Amino acid sequence: MSDPITAILDAHDAPRTRNDSLGMLLTLASEDRPQLGALLLQALERRSPSSAFLDTALDLLPDEAVASVCADAWRRYRDGERSELLTSVLEFASYQAPHTLQGDWEALLAAAAEDGVQLASQIWQALPPPLASHWAHRLTEADDDRELERAKAVLLASQPETHAAARGYLADWSDLDAQVWAHWAGLADGPRLRRLHDQQPLHLRFGIRQHRAQVAEEPGWRKRIWRLHPTWNGGQVQHAGSMGGPLDAVCGSCHAPLQRLLQTDTAALEEGAVGSITLGLCLDCCGWEDPPVRFYRHDADGVPSCHPSQHREVPINPTDSGDLMQAEVGLAVMDSPRWQQQDWGQSNHRQNLSRVGGAPSWVQSAHYPECVDCGEQMPFVMQLDSTLPTTNEGMLLWGSGGMLYSFWCAKCRVSGHFWQCT
């Protein structure tokens, strides 16, 4: 009789029984999670086909097993092995264990340039300054577009001494303008480095009623994944907050009450700030009516009101999406740095992507709006996934299951919001 790991992979690797393997995997994750590391190492050894099943195993790996799996995949790749599973593990590693790939920088650059491995932007932030300078010098001498990946890496390293060389090369040889590249790197466009997001996300811990509504229509296997996944349940709560319900302020377009997205300590959005902040939004007009970005001014108590530039004397009549369900929530810092960056596609609705701070998980192209008052590009402060229950027994989908992004100009006390979907 085969051992449990071999039995699971035998079922997975045979097309006729592949779907049967997920339940077996989740049972293993519930009863003996450290064995997921052994399962993935064996899958790499036998060159199992890539699948959402193995992506789930990667997501649920215990912290102590991540490095060995990622290092084994990286060793195999550098030895010349190629497969969809290897690519999946390397992309996973760039988000959750970048240190396992950092060191052989030329090989890492080749993986992105030659094999199209989609690496997390954070992977390049540890690029050694002398190497970044050497790469930047190569960019200044290049006379064609064959160094695009090197320029992207130097840009993402976000080092003041080499930023201009990368920005100049991309402006000369790519099809995208400088602001697109800067926003992709999380930087304000221009010669001076200014970061537009911080590095420490706080994951939303939803209330009991919210969570019951979230899982009510989900299949049983997804409920099991969410119960096991650390982004839904792990970490330590740092700030309390509340969500849902109408505010006294009204939308400038339809004149309906704004909905409370999140009320919490201002320090959760802006380090060292005091007091509270309320982020509010018209759910019916945002994304459906011009302008696409909705701006609000906040008073001394942090309460929003429609920005005067977006006020209509004659209201429009959009569809009523209902109110957001009211709940007390928490903002939790994770116990490990694995979830510092999260990718919307890689998450595949397994991970909790609703969070304050950190890097945005873009559904489409990166975009940081300009503050409607001062004109400076606004730092990112929050994203909310399509898992927000409403009072009409529905879910707020942000288009077709997309993501809402929120931004905050501390100088002008202005918030801005827009969503993206596929």
Q: Name the pLDDT band for 216 (thresholds 50, 70, 90).
A: very high
Is 379 found in the same domain as 248? yes
* Bridge partners for 41 per DSSP: none
394 compared with 412, residue with greater pLDDT: 412
* Bridge partners for 384 per DSSP: 404
The residue range of the domain holding 100 is 4-119
Amino acid, single-letter form, for residue 56: T
- Where do the H-state alpha helices sit in 14-62? 21-31, 35-46, 52-59
190 assigned to some structural domain: no
194 assigned to some structural domain: no
The helix (run of H) or strand (run of E) holding residue 296 is: strand 294-298
At residue 1, the pLDDT reads 38
- C-beta separation of 206 from 287 below 8 A: no
Is 131 found in the same domain as 106? no
Q: How big is the CA angle at 177 (ends 176 and 178), to the nearest 5 degrees?
A: 125
At residue 46, the pLDDT reads 95
Q: Which two tokens stand for residue 225?
A: 């994944």
Q: Is 330 a residue whose pLDDT tops 60?
A: yes
Range in 128-142, 145-159, 381-395 the model is least confident about: 381-395
Is 171 found in the same domain as 216? no
Residue 82 C-beta-side C-alpha neighbours within 13 Å: 6
Report, as an integer, the average pLDDT of 407-416: 98
Residues of the chain with pLDDT > 70, as a percent, come to: 98
Phi-psi region of 419 (alpha: psi -120 to 50; beta: other; left: phi over 0): beta
Is 385 found in the same domain as 293? yes
Is 66 found in the same domain as 137? no
Phi-psi region of 239 (alpha: psi -120 to 50; beta: other; left: phi over 0): beta
- C-beta separation of 275 from 303 below 8 A: no
191 assigned to some structural domain: no
Where do we find the tokens 């991970």? 351
189 assigned to some structural domain: no
- C-beta separation of 63 from 39 below 8 A: no
- C-beta separation of 162 from 187 below 8 A: no
Range in 72-86, 101-115, 304-318 the model is least confident about: 304-318
Q: How many domains does the chain fold into? A: 3
Instruction: Label the pairing between strands 403-409 and 327-333.
Output: unpaired
Is 216 found in the same domain as 84? no
Report, as an integer, the average pLDDT of 203-228: 95
**Most confident residue range from 18-22, 151-155, 287-291:** 151-155
249 assigned to some structural domain: yes
At residue 392, the pLDDT reads 80
Is 240 found in the same domain as 375? yes
At residue 206, the pLDDT reads 97
Give the mean pLDDT of the chain: 94
pLDDT digits (tens, 9 = 90+) for 67-88: 999 999 999 999 999 999 999 9
Is 365 found in the same domain as 267? yes
Is 111 found in the same domain as 137? no
373 assigned to some structural domain: yes
Is 279 found in the same domain as 146? no
At residue 18, the pLDDT reads 60
Alpha carbon distance 184, 261 (integer Å): 25
Is 161 found in the same domain as 12? no
Is 331 found in the same domain as 225? yes
